[in-house]
Structure 1
């Protein structure tokens, strides 16, 4: 039997909302608290809020573009890259003025998404990408001009990284192409920076700043404490920017191969802010140009050899217990055909397909010897012999045969197949999870029930929402006993069962394509729209939503998530931590749910998530204007880069 929680005269303790802002008191050394990769997290809504008087003012942007154009004089058809473009203010201003080949790249997921949305709303033709300036995703000899505006150069801890940026700029510029750098006047700032300042941003936001020179006097180290009148401290952040003098930046350009470096002292001497308060590094700037003195890269004598990729899939000849009728149906074959059609668009890869599991071992060994297989695109999420518990067997077999493959390795898949184990990893990383406990197969007569109703009952091991229906949400002991019996009858009596507090907040998914540390894209976050569900049904995306067209749950839709910026930032940072700790590769999806306080709590991690054309990953990609074919290509390309490098 199951014992219910004992009544208590003590009021139920409310869940404390997670404080995701670490606040420090006075510190002896600002430099000590600067992370080497501070630039990964700091460029968000707070950045636009605190620096908006400079970086989000259309008049200032227009004036800066006027001055840039007076220096470089590009033609309207010139290929221009706005590198470290932020929210794309300069890129979009160029497009408004009739420049037809404008590109923007930035490391900030938040700012690039903002740029894409605004550009789309205005009908501007700007190609925005998220990426690292040290490893640019463009072909050699592509651009006539590269601009790095808004003092976006000199963020890296090592001078070598700035050198890498310039070498990459040199690579992608055409011969005699021109680089324009807009950066702070290091001589001036080193002598005139404000050690402490404060200002009201508006009626609610207040910012205190501290600054000091680094120990070698080569960087200005800053601390910003941002406070809201009602929310309290919302950010306490440290960063450091290199102080280039006209002499040091021109020497760096020469060392990077740029000819005729020139400092244009007559422009951008000061920025005109409407608030006219603390301008920091934007107070006094210089423009520097350099010319790509190089020859055209040799043309390749032949087209790049296509890599041979074998696509591993589930076996339609074998029963699949996950599917409602246990067999592949018309929809499954339609999905497979859509996959083949999308992959057929690729010019970089030659795909073959394999789904005969009875011959898998023999065929792989034979084809490895007789045919060239560069790597396997592992889409066999059904598992070996269409058994979900044997999903990890496929990559294990590939490893034994020394055949490279996409996606998670056996250890990663084993970790993530166990929901309780993922919860433990999340706790280790200090990430919030719902309250829960596990019922082991031998727990047949008594269960200590440590959490409050309502709860949701799930198989602890499993995927594709097997064993999760509308009846999995329980409000009392009788419903719980029935749900437990259903899981055991459906999944087997040897199955462990997770009993988890039922969260009523937004149902959130975060998708990632690529690989850490820098070659990845976080797709737009989505939430499930349960508005079409009849009153009284629990708001969950279970088995009925994925497999039963006659169910009211079939009407659930995925829509762009409407979340506070701080929550979105926390979700992205948390998913990247999980991606690395769990050993995910090439792509992954993480599912979360908000509690009643709006705190995200991790539900599960999905390496090798669903790849079908109408799956969650494809829906996220579509919101980022990434087609299904392009999504698949990015996953395959991520695997190729990880396995072979450039």
Structure 2
């Protein structure tokens, strides 16, 4: 166990192990293709001369023209795509599962002045239309990573679907028979003057995969990675049989690539590779008729006729009705949708049962909760699911998770994402003389959102203030509810927004921070209930500005939010709130699925910094929802948005600050 001083991430390093195979994770490929990968394999994958020779060979074998539409599938950092662009090829696409490598590909192609459409995605479910490409290449031994052969077949079936009739496939895969007889069980080599890598290999128990362990070490920092992976070993007969099974014709096995690198040390899986080409013989898929009909959408909102204890006067006021009016004005400008609004909760169930066939999905904007009860926010999607009605935003489980701040903290810690030090106060607790964190601290309800229970009095400097804050939270939230006590971080107060859905149809909006410069010095810097609901408070005038953060912090925030988005099951849009500690390390405060959709809310402010107006933001949420619900509908128009914050892959070195 190694714990770096000043860092929150703990990374486990192992000694000798009996079975390498038992340490391989099912989806090892999600975390391994990062900066360390470019170090250990850079003698091949970062060698321009090797890439140039391979690309020249591919062009010759495929007999492709510069006007052909080409997909570089599992493209890594895009080395073959960039080389093709340098040779005058115009219609280039690249897809890879690694955030980090796709980001590298985008930066490199932009630096070289090429227009290549790189995106992140899963090769088993391509986000391209049927009959799109003239040629698809899967280069650089990027086939055979999945645990099951069935997943490899899914990749080939997607290639078949997205190739045009007569389209061609080139597959570059390790020579399995050669590796079974010639793999090196143990090796080590210098990567450069500071890094060296030790490798250990063995065949899997079924003799079908080569299992590798890599221990990467820095001369002064020590071990920085200890990772295990396994790649399937295909021979010509196996790969030909699989291609035939997936419908490919004209299968040819060409002369293998014998790799030579400048280091000429351990080439591993790249030492000898099979090159297989094949083509697609099929009919063009029938063109779908353009649908002129607008989608009918029901918008579910809070009930203005009912009491709402979150609001200052316990009822909807002029600001609320202005917000609703702004929403309706913005949605009325979306040409592809027809909206019906419903806000009577007493009749909601009967209305939905009676009219469910009149609309195609629901836009769930009822963040007040059923009957304006925040505890019942999940009841709306639960009702929609019982009635088999598709809807926007988080499902009941996601909303339940994120309503519980302590639970979100636990999930974040499980993902090695930093959170403030904290402890819980249960309803039966009455003595607070000893507790595990130092003042100042912040006291907040464990359940809830919208800043309820968080005011300037929530920040405590001593035990007496703590006692008063606890009584105040119990008065607001109820004596039977647990209370979360966290260390109060005085660094930048920041938020990260995401619109879309993983793995590849999403954008990360520009990070914002709260501007406390106009706040009187004697008031604590906290964006709580007063900032959101009290126009007479000095907090009411707080502004959000684009965050000024170092690039490594932005990368860390982006990667962490994507992991949380996936783990919590967020859909379509979400917001994550963070605070920097005294060392500048971001620590997660809250996760907000279905965050505030209002015209002047945090999500709208982030969208504004991305060049999107309020209507653009709402349309992006609608399109994300529509693509998720109707994944096979190729007529959904994507919303063009500016390039967002760079996204990085999720791996120890990048996640540590």
| TM norm. shorter chain > 0.5 | yes
By how many angstroms is 1:212 displaced? Answer: 1.8
| Secondary structure of residue in 2 paired with 1:533 | coil
By how many angstroms is 1:615 displaced? Answer: 5.5
By how many angstroms is 1:420 displaced? Answer: 3.0
2:517 to 526, 529, 533: 533
Q: CA RMSD in A?
A: 3.9
Distance 1:251 1:170 in 2: 15
By how many angstroms is 1:220 displaced? Answer: 1.6
By how many angstroms is 1:585 displaced? Answer: 4.9
Within 5 A, what are the aligned runs for 1:268-279? Answer: 268-271=257-260, 273-279=261-267
1:526–1:560 contact (8 Å) kept in structure 2: no
| Secondary structure of residue in 2 paired with 1:162 | helix
Unpaired runs of at least 5, structure 1: 1-13
Distance 2:611 2:91 in 1: 18
By how many angstroms is 1:198 displaced? Answer: 1.2
In the other structure, the counterpart of 1:11 is: none
Residues 439 and 425 (structure 1), Cα distance of their counterparts in 2 relative to 1, 3 Å cut? same
Distance 1:197 1:229 in 2: 18
1:340 to 331, 335, 347: 331
By how many angstroms is 1:226 displaced? Answer: 1.2
1:501 matched to 2:487? The reply is yes
2:134 to 128, 144, 149: 144
Residues 51 and 566 (structure 1), Cα distance of their counterparts in 2 relative to 1, 3 Å cut? farther
Distance 2:508 2:381 in 1: 29
Distance 1:486 1:461 in 2: 15
Distance 2:549 2:629 in 1: 27
1:608 matched to 2:594? The reply is yes
1:575 to 560, 564, 575: 564
By how many angstroms is 1:436 displaced? Answer: 2.4
2:515–2:542 contact (8 Å) kept in structure 1: no
In the other structure, the counterpart of 1:377 is: 363
Distance 2:606 2:272 in 1: 41
Distance 1:52 1:281 in 2: 13
2:542 to 545, 550, 553: 553
Distance 1:120 1:322 in 2: 48
Residues 220 and 441 (structure 1), Cα distance of their counterparts in 2 relative to 1, 3 Å cut? closer
Which deviates the most, 565-574 or 458-467? 565-574
Distance 2:372 2:296 in 1: 25
1:509–1:525 contact (8 Å) kept in structure 2: no
1:419 matched to 2:408? The reply is no
Residues 59 and 323 (structure 1), Cα distance of their counterparts in 2 relative to 1, 3 Å cut? farther
| Secondary structure of residue in 1 paired with 2:95 | strand
2:512–2:544 contact (8 Å) kept in structure 1: no
In the other structure, the counterpart of 1:361 is: 349
In the other structure, the counterpart of 2:647 is: none
| Secondary structure of residue in 2 paired with 1:49 | helix
Unpaired runs of at least 5, structure 2: 637-657
| Secondary structure of residue in 2 paired with 1:604 | strand
1:66 to 53, 56, 62: 56
Distance 1:624 1:288 in 2: 44
TM-score normalised by the chain length of structure 2: 0.81
Deviations 1:475-527 (CA, angstroms, capped at 9, x unpaired): 33454455446546666777653221123566565666677xx7566754865
1:312–1:377 contact (8 Å) kept in structure 2: yes
Distance 1:470 1:327 in 2: 24
Residues 289 and 306 (structure 1), Cα distance of their counterparts in 2 relative to 1, 3 Å cut? farther
| Secondary structure of residue in 2 paired with 1:93 | helix
In the other structure, the counterpart of 1:124 is: 114
Distance 1:191 1:505 in 2: 57
Query: How many equivalent pairs are there?
Result: 617
1:219 matched to 2:205? The reply is no
Distance 1:97 1:341 in 2: 47
In the other structure, the counterpart of 1:192 is: 182
Distance 1:254 1:285 in 2: 20
Distance 2:318 2:303 in 1: 9
By how many angstroms is 1:228 displaced? Answer: 2.2
By how many angstroms is 1:81 displaced? Answer: 0.9
| Secondary structure of residue in 2 paired with 1:133 | coil
| Secondary structure of residue in 2 paired with 1:181 | strand
Within 5 A, what are the aligned runs for 1:9-408? Answer: 17-265=7-255, 268-271=257-260, 273-300=261-288, 303=291, 308-315=296-303, 322=310, 327=317, 329=319, 332-333=323-324, 335-337=326-328, 340=331, 344-346=334-336, 351-368=339-356, 371-408=357-394
Distance 2:192 2:325 in 1: 55
In the other structure, the counterpart of 2:422 is: 436
By how many angstroms is 1:262 displaced? Answer: 1.8
Residues 247 and 559 (structure 1), Cα distance of their counterparts in 2 relative to 1, 3 Å cut? farther
2:298–2:359 contact (8 Å) kept in structure 1: yes
By how many angstroms is 1:362 displaced? Answer: 3.9
TM-score normalised by the chain length of structure 1: 0.82
By how many angstroms is 1:26 displaced? Answer: 0.9
1:525–1:561 contact (8 Å) kept in structure 2: no
By how many angstroms is 1:173 displaced? Answer: 0.3
Which deviates the most, 237-246 or 568-577? 568-577
| Secondary structure of residue in 2 paired with 1:265 | strand
